[in-house]
Amino acid sequence: MKLKLRIWRQAGPNATGKLVDYDIDGVSEDMSFLEMLDLLNENLTNVNEEPVAFDHDCREGICGMCGVVVNGIAHGGSSTTVCQLHMRSFADGATIEIEPWQAGAFPVLKDLAVDRSAFDRIIQAGGFISSNTGSAPDAHAMPAPKREADVAFDNATCIGCGACVAACPNSSAMLFTAAKITHLAMLPQGQPERYSRVKSMVAAHDEEGFGNCTNIGECAAVCPKGIPLESIAQLNRDLIKSMFTKDGK
Amino acid sequence: MRSTVVKKVIMAVTGLIMIAFLLMHMYGNLKMFAGEEAFDHYAHWLKGDILYPIVPQGWFIWIFRTGLLAALVLHIWSAASLSMRTLAVRGPGYDKFKPQAQTYSARTMRWGGILVGLFIVFHLLQFTVKVLRTGFDANAGPYEMFVLSFSTWWVFAFYAVLMVLICMHVRHGFWSAFQTLGLNSSAKSQRWLNLLGIGVGVVLYVGFMLPPVAVLIGWVN
Amino acid sequence: MTTTEEVTHLERLDIPRNLQSPTAPSTKTPTDFFVEGADISDGKAPDVGISEMWKTRQFQARLVNPSNRRKLSVIIVGTGLAGGAAAATLGEAGYNVLNFCYQDSPRRAHSIAAQGGINAAKNYRNDGDSTFRLFYDTVKGGDYRSRETNVYRLAEVSANIIDQCVAQGVPFAREYGGLLDTRSFGGVQVQRTFYARGQTGQQLLIGAYQQLERQVAAGTVKMHTRHEMVEVIVVDGVARGIVTRNMVNGKIESWTADAVVLATGGYGNVFFLSTNAMGCNVTATWRAHRKGAYFGNPCYTQIHPTCIPVHGDTQSKLTLMSESLRNDGRIWVPKRAEDCQKDPRQIPEEDRDYYLERIYPSFGNLVPRDIASRQAKNMCDEGRGVGPAITERAPDGTESKVSRGVYLDFADAIARLGQPAVSAKYGNLFDMYAQITGENPYETPMRIYPAVHYTMGGLWVDYDLQSSITGLYVTGEANFSDHGANRLGASALMQGLADGYFVLPNTINDYLADAPYEKLSAEHPAVVEAVESAKARVERLLSIQGTRSVDSFHKELGHIMWEYCGMYRTEEGLIKAIGLIQELKEEFWSNVRVTGVNEDFNQALERAGRVADFIELGELMCVDALHRRESCGGHFRGESQTPEGEALRHDDEFLYVAAWEFGGEGGKPVLHREPLVYKAIELKQRSYT
């Protein structure tokens, strides 16, 4: 396959970026999208140009490190992450436009790589259960109803890739925050800190400079793990309840 | 109050109040079809007798107006402060962006909301304060005002267009309010809330536009 | 030492031989490649009965007063299960922890990719499981090449891990009664594997990550993401710090502390293609090795039989599919090479060779991982592989096209159970296969091929997990300790968390009891030396400005390793590989092209440093594989097999851990043997025929 690529190139966080055109030949349809970028980088290296920087690691859709906007869609319309997008989804001769995640809270580091450390800080604000190593009771001491445990699991599958923020016209990280809140709120072990957690995590979300949610639904549509919008409703519900709960602090 | 979610809750609650008001307003307008006397009587009752003797005559309308105004102001305040914040923090915008889920209603909430706000001002100046008179004089009764205004084609057209905007705003706002209040608990409830939102929007549009249509084509005069 | 068996095999392999090579096979013998050193032993495990050992050690270990802990600091490199759990736990205890990872967030460490589950001797099923049984299974699974004392402890603390994780909110699979579900995994007879759908690793890692972030918020852990460790600081034989390169701006910095922990995972990427993440590397442990840490059993690698085959020359990594597929799928290749490119559905039953069922009638498709892997390779070497032919470049430069794949056929299972039942059991794996290959596995048989998956070898550690450098601890896959020559399924997660939550935090205190150690200034000669050598190395990489990309070197190294140090190893092949790697190393340092500058986000430079270390490691792996003239676990030596072609151990000669000491630049590695002593378990030869 022969393709035309338009890729966002930006030398550093403070540099101005622009879309640069590249032609690439010899792409096989079995290649993954990132392998296609590897090939481009190999070609660029051979002509002594600097390769395109992009984040990636596991390349099996679970680490959450990769993520770019391909032709206007976060993760390029693959049902998981962009590393699982294969070139057979593109026509020979197609033009592919590749841009980094855009959000005020995700500054571009270089080319297609962005800084998502704001997510870690949201978790630091309360995305955990305070239980020191060694202090745990037997795992069967507290049964968890299967239905709730399953909802907890569905939300715990979030890989923190940031596609929700990238796709959101408001650059909101509500889906990310809601996934963690719902995961922990559905488990018996998560109850003691349930209401203080939602307050501090939402406060951290806002402080990090993410926009507010306007219930548009772009986030859930591109989420590689299928976290639903109702998780955000769960966050809202818990936040409202926290205002009437003593341990909501 | 600093949390964006709290502001959204305020927006949701005030929005729902205003949707309730719109439904009531629409119901009142439909009284057109009961004739001039019934319509004027209803309008008069609104301004006078409601809740009398619990409150003195004529007070209710002011309490009501104050409440609505407060809802409107809070709605606009929360929308404005959230929007200004979001516009400041969001990304610069993609060269190419393909929406995957958003409805036209959701996309037009911001500027649609501004237009709806301006429309409300116009609407009040037209029928409440009566300074922008569209074909009626200062002493005209409610029914007369209505008929004379909507007999003019451009007034009709203006309302017909603006009501589309309002109903779109309501359509996304309705579902959105329930989502913000945490009442969307499953994929199924999300589908229902969306359908309800569309339903409320359609009902409002049809209900509000029936009397003007009747006026325009001469059923009611 | 060349046997007839091996020659025939090599001829079957059709490996082009380059007789011009300066390292022609016949001129050297294994002993030419290393130097004998003194035997070593673990001096830390108390001399008591195995079930009392860990309690005794915990009691003997000196403690650090809680109020003193905040005066002490620990560096932990890596944020996976072993590193993240240790950082969180030491933070909770009150130490100052400096934690580093190369990813943009600690949540992305490659522990996240483990699918199947985590073993624990909880005996919730009342099916006869116990600490001793898990211990026994692990030692036997490791083909009697692991240290008994460490494995027993692993089995002992395994139950605590499940409690700990549940308390953190890890959403393990549950039954309707609300209690945890377990399944049997990897052919063991008890149901001791806890799981969270097919994403157990992810869920356990997120659990550890949450605890870690909690400590970051509490201020006890300072997290440094996008930092790659490039050097260790050793003062008078004691590890006192590390040097990192900031991957965003290239800054090379030193960090000092009272102890250093490496939890940097395995080195499967030495093969270029593996199921490891792209960034997984050996740099941290290799730098430590060069500064004096012994490397234990580097040649022990695990090759997983059910991976999606390589699709072409541009492939960057391999994807594993759960081994459970072999429960219902039947593995075959065409009997005749000329049928290989035919549509498999058109090949009649009598022309198919269900080779595992043929060779191992009693185990069939469920033979252990290493056997299934090796036989798949044999079939493809015979020219009976299926799927797209991949260009393979022989060391002398000649290229050939070989199909690397065998069929895993569910037609019988679908006929027997119905498609819905098959889909309920394996649907997610079928979907994954369809997404990657674009083929529908319900209609055409899947193609699979073995891939490198885990490395049992790693830095040598004692019972306390301390390496041969005082003050340098190694946990998780990065150490060599628990899996011997082969790892059991669902045991990697167990070891990572056992080391991180329970073992290290109860042994490192014995060392820290003497701390705080003298503070090191940035001007200390050892610090300056480490920083300067790291800087010099970067400068050297950037200054070569050759013609070949870093990836092309990595790929070539991978080819050499896979060919000669993969599933089937021979003396001749390994000697040849060592020569090739030495040539490759020379070419790398004279002809690599690294674009850009240091003071930038420079991924080419990152990879260059890693590949340089992989090349050196590759050579040591070959030397280790060469000296171990026996087959055990994942290490199969052509010269050591039964008449039926099965792995043959030589306990009389090789019942030891090979701990390699760095022999200096250009020098030969020094072999230290740690004899393995089995007191609780009797040695047996395994058999599957």
Higher pLDDT, C305 or C22: C305
| CB spacing of A134 vs C164 below 8 angstroms | yes
Tell me, what CATH number does B202's domain have? 1.20.1300.10
Cβ pair C460, C454 in contact under 8 A:
no
Distance (Å) of CA C458 to CA B39, B145, C78, C567: 89, 89, 15, 19
Handedness of CA C155, C498, C268, C210 (dihedral sign): positive
The CATH superfamily of A116-128+143-248 is Alpha-helical ferredoxin (1.10.1060.10)
Higher pLDDT, C103 or B51: C103
Q: Looking at CA atoms only, how far is residue A181 from chain B in angstroms?
A: 13
Q: Is C124 on the interface with A (CB under 8 A)?
A: yes
Helix (H) or strand (E) holding A97: strand A95-99
Specify the pLDDT at position C434: 92
| Residue A101 dihedral angles phi and psi, to the nearest 5° | -55, 135
Give the SS3 label for residue C637.
strand
Averaged pLDDT, C146-163: 97
Judged by phi (left if over 0) then psi (alpha if -120 to 50, else beta), residue A17 lies in beta
Specify the pLDDT at position B52: 85
Distance CA C15, CA B59 (A): 100
Tell me, what CATH number does C353's domain have? 3.90.700.10
Give residue-wise pLDDT tens across range C126-136.
999 999 999 99
- Residues in chain C with CB shorter than 8 Å from the CB of A144 are 174, 178
Structurally, chain C folds into a number of domains equal to 2
| Residue A150 dihedral angles phi and psi, to the nearest 5° | -70, -40
Give residue-wise pLDDT tens across range C341-384.
999 999 999 999 999 999 988 888 988 788 899 999 999 989 99
Specify the pLDDT at position C186: 72
Averaged pLDDT, B105-125: 94
Handedness of CA B160, B164, B169, B171 (dihedral sign): positive
Specify the pLDDT at position C5: 38
Q: Looking at CA atoms only, how far is residue A139 from chain B in angstroms?
A: 29
Distance CA B216, CA B209 (A): 10
Share of chain A above pLDDT 70, in %: 99
Site of tokens 């109040």: B17
Q: Is C675 on the interface with A (CB under 8 A)?
A: no
Higher pLDDT, B49 or A196: A196
Give residue-wise pLDDT tens across range C28-43.
899 999 999 999 999 9
Specify the pLDDT at position C8: 34
Listed in order, the ranges of chain A carrying CATH 3.10.20.30 are 3-110
Q: Which of C425, C453, C481 is the last residue of a domain?
A: C453
Residues C308 and C447 in one domain: yes
Give residue-wise pLDDT tens across range B136-173.
998 899 999 999 999 999 999 999 999 999 999 999 99
Best residue in B84, B85, B86, B185 to probe A by mutation, most A CBs within 10 Å?
A: B86
**Residue type present at position C392:** E
Give residue-wise pLDDT tens across range A80-116.
899 999 999 999 999 999 999 999 999 999 999 999 9
Give residue-wise pLDDT tens across range C619-647.
999 999 999 999 999 999 999 998 878 88
- What is the widest separation between alpha-carbon atoms in chain B? 63
Structurally, chain B folds into a number of domains equal to 1
Low-confidence winner among B49-58, C196-205, C381-390, C514-523 (lowest mean pLDDT): B49-58
Is the pLDDT score of C99 beyond 90?
Answer: yes
Q: What separation, in Å, do the N-terminal and C-terminal C-alpha atoms of chain B show? A: 50
Q: E strands along C564-637, which residues?
A: 592-593
Q: Do B and A count as touching (3 or more CB pairs closer than 8 A)? A: yes
Q: Is A185 on the interface with B (CB under 8 A)?
A: no
Distance CA C666, CA A152 (A): 55
Q: Annotated catalytic, C226?
A: no
Is the pLDDT score of B1 beyond 60?
Answer: no
Give residue-wise pLDDT tens across range C468-497.
999 999 999 999 989 999 998 899 999 999
Distance CA B86, CA B217 (A): 46
Q: At what angle do helices C148-168 and C131-141 cross, to 10 degrees?
A: 120
Distance CA C570, CA C583 (A): 20
Cβ pair C73, C95 in contact under 8 A:
yes
Distance (Å) of CA C357 to CA A222, C189, C221, C351, C372: 44, 21, 53, 15, 11
| CB spacing of A72 vs B85 below 8 angstroms | no
Averaged pLDDT, A41-60: 96
Specify the pLDDT at position C14: 37
Q: C88 in a domain, yes or no?
A: no
Specify the pLDDT at position C13: 36
Tell me, what CATH number does C638's domain have? 1.20.58.100
Is the pLDDT score of B112 beyond 90?
Answer: yes
| Residue C223 dihedral angles phi and psi, to the nearest 5° | -95, 135
Size of interface A-C (CB pairs under 8 A): 217
Q: E strands along C354-476, which residues?
A: 389-393, 399-403, 406-409, 446-455, 458-459, 472-474
Closest CA to B190 of C335, B182, C472, A48: B182
Q: Which two tokens stand for residue A86?
A: 């294969």
Averaged pLDDT, B57-72: 94
Specify the pLDDT at position C390: 85
Give residue-wise pLDDT tens across range C186-228.
768 899 999 998 899 999 999 999 999 999 999 999 999 999 9
Question: What distance lies between CA C117 and its chain's CA centroid?
Answer: 17
Give residue-wise pLDDT tens across range C298-337.
999 999 999 999 988 889 999 998 888 888 899 999 999 9
Cβ pair C282, C571 in contact under 8 A:
no
Binding-face residues of C in 31-70 toward A, CB within 8 A: none
| Residue of C171, C279, C593 with shortest CB distance to A183 | C171
Is the pLDDT score of C25 beyond 70?
Answer: no
Per-chain mean pLDDT for chain C: 92
| Closest Cα in chain A to C276 | A58
Beta bridge partners of C569: C637
| Residue of C112, C165, C501 with shortest CB distance to A63 | C112
Helix (H) or strand (E) holding B45: helix B36-47
Site of tokens 């580093």: C100
Residues C574 and C447 in one domain: no
Is the pLDDT score of C688 beyond 80?
Answer: no
Q: Is B187 on the interface with A (CB under 8 A)?
A: yes
Distance CA B1, CA B8 (A): 10
Helix (H) or strand (E) holding B175: helix B153-180
Distance CA C361, CA C355 (A): 10
B163: domain range? 4-89+110-216
- Residues in chain A with CB shorter than 8 Å from the CB of B6 are 239, 243
Q: Which two tokens stand for residue C415?
A: 């006929």
Site of tokens 């790929």: C555
Judged by phi (left if over 0) then psi (alpha if -120 to 50, else beta), residue C603 lies in alpha
Higher pLDDT, C232 or A80: C232
Distance CA B119, CA C532 (A): 71
Q: Which two tokens stand for residue B20?
A: 């309730």
Binding-face residues of C in 190-219 toward A, CB within 8 A: 196-197, 199, 201-203, 206, 209-211, 213-214, 216-217
The residues, ordered by sequence, that sit 6+ positions from C529 with a Cβ below 8 Å of its Cβ are none
Q: B115 in a domain, yes or no?
A: yes
Q: How many alpha carbons lie under 13 Å from residue B104 in its C-beta half-sphere?
A: 6
Is the pLDDT score of C394 beyond 80?
Answer: no
Beta bridge partners of A110: A113
Specify the pLDDT at position C11: 36
User: Which residue is catalytic, options C108, C133, C330, C369?
Assistant: C369
Is the pLDDT score of B80 beyond 90?
Answer: yes
Give residue-wise pLDDT tens across range C42-59.
999 999 999 999 999 999
Low-confidence winner among C117-131, C358-372, C530-544 (lowest mean pLDDT): C358-372
Residues C448 and C531 in one domain: no
**Residue type present at position C62:** R
Query: Looking at chain A, how many residues does it have?
Result: 249
Give residue-wise pLDDT tens across range A184-205.
999 999 999 999 999 999 999 9
Q: Please state which CATH number belongs to domain A3-110.
A: 3.10.20.30
Question: What distance lies between CA C660 and its chain's CA centroid?
Answer: 17
Cβ pair C180, C174 in contact under 8 A:
yes
Residues C543 and C425 in one domain: no
Q: Which two tokens stand for residue C661?
A: 């000491």
Q: E strands along C487-559, which residues?
A: 548-549
Specify the pLDDT at position C395: 60
What is the per-residue burial (b if ≥16 Cβ within 10 Å, else e) of C56-78? ebbeebeebeeeebeebbbbbbb
Judged by phi (left if over 0) then psi (alpha if -120 to 50, else beta), residue C401 lies in beta
C638: domain range? 4-31+524-649
Q: B149 in a domain, yes or no?
A: yes
Per-chain mean pLDDT for chain B: 93
Cβ pair C287, C232 in contact under 8 A:
yes
